[in-house]
Amino acid sequence: MGKHSVHLTICGTECVVSSEEDEAYMQSIAQEVKERMEGLQKRNSHASATVAGIVAALSYCDECRKATTEVGHLRGQIKEYVEDSTRARREAQEAASEIGRLKKEIATLRARLGENPEIPSEELQDAPLQRSRTGSFSRPEQEITPEQEGFLKFFEDADES
């Protein structure tokens, strides 16, 4: 957007302002300044246009600083909210993952207890480690099939001879 000159008249004083904003926007700002200055002159009949202009400028600068400070506070709050939201989302994902893991572990344990025989034995082999009374971890005991038992007996017999 290029700069262009805008002719403004505020309280009888004409001026030319160079701005990147369009003329309608600049005219609306000039109207607002004019209304503020006229209001100040009505409240204090001894105030000249120069004094009214200075007081209006001070008033606008004060509003701008307060708004800038408020924007800084709002940005800080938004940043905190985003961090809280990100942390909560991560915790929810971790909790969902933990729920899935615990559901699988429950199903595995039920299958071992004979409550849920539909879980294949391959999943039982991947079951989580159990903690023993001594504090060490080991895979839970699995039932030995007759085929495995015969194989183990072969070695037991060889050890005894």
Length of the chain, please?
161
pLDDT reported for residue 3? 85
Domain hosting 43: range is 1-47
Same domain, 32 and 85: no
Domain co-membership, 65 together with 110: yes
In a domain, 160, yes or no: no
Q: Are residues 22 and 73 in the same domain?
A: no
- Identify whether residues 41 and 2 lie together within a single domain: yes
Residues 67 and 113 in one domain: yes
Number of structural domains (the chain) is 2
Whole-structure pTM value: 0.51
Q: Do 65 and 41 have their domain in common?
A: no
Mean pLDDT by 10 residues, the chain (161 residues): 84 90 92 93 89 92 96 96 95 94 90 66 55 54 59 54 48
- Would you tell me how many other CB atoms lie within 10 Å of the CB of residue 149? 11
Q: Note whether residue 69 is domain-resident.
A: yes
Answer yes or no: is 159 within a domain.
no
